[in-house]
Amino acid sequence: MSAVEQQLSGHSAMDEDDESEVIITADQLLASAPAALAPAAETAAANGASDKPDFAPLSAKALRGKRYEVRRVRVPPHRLSPLKRDWMKIYTPVVEHLKLQIRMNPKARMLEVRTCEETEDMGSVQKAADFLRAYCLGFSPEDSLALLRMEDLFLDSFEIKEVKTLTGDHLSRAIGRLAGKDGKTKYTIENATKTRIVLADSKVHVMGTFQNIKIAKNAISSLIMGSPPGKIYAHLKVVAARMKGRF
């Protein structure tokens, strides 16, 4: 055997020895894995750790950061005098209960409400804006306050012209039919449907739950279209009895 062949055979023998030392069978891996993972699992169980991260809830201040949420509501000219008279009834729930800041901007004729350091709920600013908007539409402070206390109340506005195109004396008569003598028709619809209604010129604003607003709008639309009030009263009586039995 030549010297080159002896050298090559020596290298192959060394490679076989190295491979025999490096190769680990699958049975050896399965046998050693539980033993290696057991101390780590015991440590995690002892510390009460879990796979899911545990984050503490953010406070309103941390959620807001350095930004302040602001809402502005325009005040119509005919609501400026009532606003001065009812200012404390509006100021108290917004500042003391919702922990917000409120001011009247006389130059822009707008009510401005914003969050502050004491604000606990970031959704309070939108509730306050809905409360102020309801008051500016013509609802009383007591009725508007219901928007802060109940979550399922909404505001819906529409014009009489959207139901039927009326002008001049015909429009005036339609408004009179909706109000009734001494407001009887309006109060009847409110009591039967558990809603609040404001007649502002040719606009009608309704406050209540979604289903109750739908019933009230149907009654108002029927009056605008020319249905006699007696027929509307009879229908509302049936609706009121049905609602009373349901709840």
Could you read off the pLDDT of 161-219 as tens digits, one per residue? Answer: 999 998 889 999 999 989 888 889 999 999 989 999 999 888 999 999 999 999 999 99
Q: How far apart are CA 244 and CA 195, in angstroms?
A: 14
**Residue 115: how many CB atoms within 10 A of its CB?**
24
| pTM over 0.85, yes/no | no
pLDDT at 237 (0 to 100): 87
The residue extents of the domains of the chain are 60-147, 154-246
Task: Write the pLDDT tens digit of every residue in 95-149.
Answer: 999 999 999 999 999 999 999 888 888 888 999 999 999 999 999 999 999 999 8
CB 247 within 8 A of CB 241: no
d(CA 246, CA 240): 10
Please tell us whether the domain made up of 154-246 is placed in CATH 3.40.50.300. Answer: no
The CATH fold assigned to 60-147 is: Ribosomal Protein S8; Chain: A, domain 1 (3.30.1370)
